[in-house]
């Protein structure tokens, strides 16, 4: 007969099992409670920090670009407020319209109708903005006029999320004045920016693309500021985390440029291909640097159209080329003063004469012709009449090595060191294939010798001042702004820099200046049409033949120096006109007109 179980023992075992399960459940529950307490109380700050970090966005705030002024402090490039219509996407939605992009487009159409403009936005670019930059406002309309702003103020009911803000825009009070020298600007490409990785949202700065705007971009750009914001799950800003770091505005540039002289030069060059440079012969400061044709930097504000840019690029006159520093030309007879100096410094006296019968046997193709039959001429009168025969024979007698040394001392073949991009010209040198015919041509500024108008102005300044070569410069001062008072603080002041001397004595230079005086003031001088009533000019004409046959043209020169009748400053000038007839007939009257207008201004 089977043995019966004790009922008390069964009950005790059951109770033990229930107790063990209860204890296990209790322990498990306790662990969960402790874990939750640790997460919510002890670790809450850590998780909150991580969450905030994931939602924080750093926004770049561009600085205001520095301005550019003339010698007298008159603004050539300045900033003006441009009033723009912005939409804040995070605020622009209604229960009726769940499609935020379409809602923004509808409101943009409404604003366009009020302003009388077309709507520049498309549904595609609105959606792109919402996908990639939802935390930034969307610019819809730029550069509102006062009348347009008045219309927008009367809009009722007002559009939630619409804001009119002002941003600085480049302005050019004198239009295209000194455009190649100043240069133009455009918005930088964030992808190429050095500080792109520092910001989640990158608002680009203006950057210089040419001229001084490019060369001094770091000075003009300033230092960007920043702002930390919190965004929600859709990327829209809902909280500012800290006070923004304000940007530091760019430095201002004060140039050596004389605005009255620049205006007169550009007016004189209008309709021509060419350039005029005027320097202070006492320091190297650039008073005028004009090149024609030119362009308007305002075309690039806020951005240039593809059609207009293509027109400029395809213009045969090449308006982007600064001919004053990037045009490299044969100097023609304006090189003859240097040829004369080389002779004087190598023992050939100014009184030595050569007989001009209208042609010299030196040169290719039967010889080099002169502009007339001048007969016996000494050095001063050969300069006056610009006699080719005299200077060819003189150059051949002195030789290429002496010529090359003199040309090199005048800076030919070397860059001047000015602050903008320039060419070095071409210095002729002796070599295996050199011969007397080559020497004959370079003696009169033809063949294998080239100069820029700036280089020519530099060595004519040296002829004027007694032989000192100065480094030309455009920047006179660079200014910062005191953050508290707003007053200007100079961070750079230019100091004239002597770079060398013409390899000529004071006596030799006297001979050259005497000949240059006759060029303008003698009835037989080649530059009579360059004479002006208000000041006494010393000058040299030049005509360089370019090309052959049906493509033959002439580049015509008029270089020299003059004292400003009001300030007394000794000024050296160089002017070249492409496709002219002669230096005396084409370029001399242009320079005379420019100087007359400039000197007549109060």
Residue 51 banded pLDDT, cuts 50, 70, 90:
very low
**The tokens 């910062």 sit on which residue?**
480
**Residues pairing with 578 in the sheet:** 555
Instruction: Break the chain into its structural domains and give their ranges.
Output: 59-74+173-233, 81-168, 259-297+320-600
Is pLDDT of 109 > 90? yes
Residue 154 banded pLDDT, cuts 50, 70, 90:
confident
Identify the CA nearest to 572 among candidates 431, 425, 416, 346: 416
Share of the chain above pLDDT 70, in %: 86
Are 287 and 278 in contact by the 8 Å Cβ rule? The answer is yes
The per-residue pLDDT for range 7-43, each reduced to its tens digit, is 555 556 555 665 656 556 656 666 565 665 555 554 4
| Cβ neighbours for 212, distance < 8 A, ≥ 6 positions apart | 68, 181, 182, 183, 253, 255, 419, 420, 474, 475
The per-residue pLDDT for range 444-484, each reduced to its tens digit, is 999 999 999 999 999 999 999 999 999 999 999 999 987 66
β 225-231/185-187 pair status: unpaired
Identify the CA nearest to 475 among candidates 219, 281, 175, 267: 219
Is pLDDT of 235 > 60? no
Distance, in Å, from the CA atom of 471 to the CA atom of 491, rounded to the nearest integer, reads 21
Which tokens sit at 518? 């006759």
Give the pLDDT score at 237. 52
Following DSSP, what letter does each residue of 2-37 receive, concatenated? PPPPPHHHHHHHHHHHHHHHHHHHHHHHHHHHHHHH
Which tokens sit at 531? 């004479």
Q: Which CATH architecture has domain 259-297+320-600?
A: 3-Layer(aba) Sandwich (3.40)
β 68-69/252-255 pair status: parallel
Is pLDDT of 258 > 90? yes
Are 228 and 242 in contact by the 8 Å Cβ rule? The answer is yes
Distance, in Å, from the CA atom of 501 to the CA atom of 381, rounded to the nearest integer, reads 26
The per-residue pLDDT for range 289-329, each reduced to its tens digit, is 999 999 999 999 988 999 999 999 999 999 999 999 999 99
Residue 49 banded pLDDT, cuts 50, 70, 90:
very low
The per-residue pLDDT for range 399-444, each reduced to its tens digit, is 999 999 999 999 999 999 999 999 999 999 999 999 999 999 999 9
With helix as H, strand as E and coil as C, how does 63-126 read? CCCCCEECCCCCEEEEEEEEEEEEECHHHCCCCCCCCHHHHHHHHHHHHHHHHCCCCCCCHHHH
Distance, in Å, from the CA atom of 312 to the CA atom of 307, rounded to the nearest integer, reads 9
Give the pLDDT score at 247. 86
Are 339 and 350 in contact by the 8 Å Cβ rule? The answer is no
The per-residue pLDDT for range 63-86, each reduced to its tens digit, is 899 999 999 999 999 999 888 898
The per-residue pLDDT for range 328-381, each reduced to its tens digit, is 999 999 999 999 999 999 999 999 999 999 999 999 988 999 999 999 999 999
Give the pLDDT score at 158. 83
- CATH H-level, domain 59-74+173-233: superfamily: Penicillin-binding protein 2a (Domain 2) (3.90.1310.10)
Identify the CA nearest to 343 among candidates 505, 118, 199, 194: 505
Share of the chain above pLDDT 90, in %: 69
Average pLDDT, integer, range 505-533: 97
Following DSSP, what letter does each residue of 540-565 receive, concatenated? EEEEEEES-GGG-EEEEEEEEEEE-T
């Amino acid at each position: 007969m089977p043995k019966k179980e004790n009922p008390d023992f069964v009950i005790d075992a059951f109770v033990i099992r229930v107790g063990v399960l209860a204890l296990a459940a209790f322990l498990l529950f306790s662990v969960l409670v402790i874990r939750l307490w640790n997460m919510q109380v002890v670790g809450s700050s850590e998780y909150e920090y991580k969450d905030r970090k994931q939602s924080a966005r750093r926004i770049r705030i561009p600085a205001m670009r520095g301005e550019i002024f003339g010698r007298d402090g008159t603004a050539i490039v300045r900033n003006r407020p441009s009033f723009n219509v912005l939409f804040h996407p995070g605020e622009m939605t209604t229960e009726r319209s769940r499609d935020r992009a379409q809602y923004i487009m509808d409101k943009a159409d409404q604003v366009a109708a009020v302003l009388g403009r077309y709507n520049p936005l498309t549904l595609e670019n609105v959606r792109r903005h919402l996908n990639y930059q939802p935390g930034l406002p969307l610019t819809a309309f730029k550069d509102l006029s006062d009348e347009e702003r008045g219309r927008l103020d009367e809009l009722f009911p007002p559009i939630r999320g619409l804001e009119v803000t002002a941003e600085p825009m480049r302005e050019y009070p004198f239009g295209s004045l000194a455009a190649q020298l100043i240069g133009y600007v455009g918005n930088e490409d964030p992808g190429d920016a050095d500080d792109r990785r520092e910001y989640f949202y990158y608002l680009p700065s203006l950057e210089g693309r040419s001229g001084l705007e490019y060369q001094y971009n770091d000075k003009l750009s300033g230092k960007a500021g920043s702002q930390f914001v919190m965004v929600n799950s859709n990327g829209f800003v809902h909280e500012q985390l800290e006070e923004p770091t304000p940007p530091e505005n760019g430095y201002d540039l004060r140039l050596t440029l004389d605005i009255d002289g620049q205006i007169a030069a550009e007016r004189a060059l209008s309709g021509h291909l060419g350039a005029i440079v005027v320097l202070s012969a006492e320091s190297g400061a650039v008073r005028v640097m004009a090149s024609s044709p030119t362009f308007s930097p305002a075309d690039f504000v806020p951005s240039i159209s593809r059609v207009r840019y293509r027109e400029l690029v395809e213009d045969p006159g090449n308006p982007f080329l600064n001919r004053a520093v990037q045009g490299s030309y044969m100097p023609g007879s304006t090189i003859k003063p240097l040829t004369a100096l080389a002779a004087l410094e190598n023992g050939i006296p100014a009184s030595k004469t050569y007989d001009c019968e209208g042609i010299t046997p030196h040169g290719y193709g039967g010889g080099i012709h002169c502009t007339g039959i001048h007969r016996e001429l000494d050095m001063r009168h050969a300069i006056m009449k610009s006699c080719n025969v005299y200077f060819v024979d003189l150059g051949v007698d002195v030789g290429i090595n002496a010529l090359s040394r003199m040309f090199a001392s005048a800076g030919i073949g070397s860059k001047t060191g000015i602050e903008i991009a320039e060419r070095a010209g071409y210095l002729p040198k002796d070599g295996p294939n050199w011969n007397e015919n080559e020497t004959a041509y370079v003696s009169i500024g033809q063949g294998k010798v080239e100069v820029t108008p700036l280089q020519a102005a530099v060595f004519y300044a040296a002829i004027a001042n007694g032989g000192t070569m100065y480094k030309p410069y455009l920047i006179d001062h660079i200014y910062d702004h005191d953050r508290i008072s707003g007053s200007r603080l100079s961070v750079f002041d230019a100091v004239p820099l002597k770079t060398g001397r013409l390899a000529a004595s004071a006596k030799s230079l006297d001979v050259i200046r005497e000949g240059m005086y006759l060029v303008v003031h003698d009835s037989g001088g080649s530059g009579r049409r360059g004479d002006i009533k208000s000041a006494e000019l010393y000058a040299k004409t030049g005509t360089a033949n370019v090309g052959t046959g049906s493509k033959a043209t002439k580049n015509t020169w008029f270089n020299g120096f003059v004292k400003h009748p009001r300030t007394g400053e000794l000024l050296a000038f160089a002017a070249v006109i492409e496709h002219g007839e002669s230096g005396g007939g084409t370029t001399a009257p242009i320079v005379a007109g420019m100087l007359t207008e400039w000197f007549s201004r109060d």
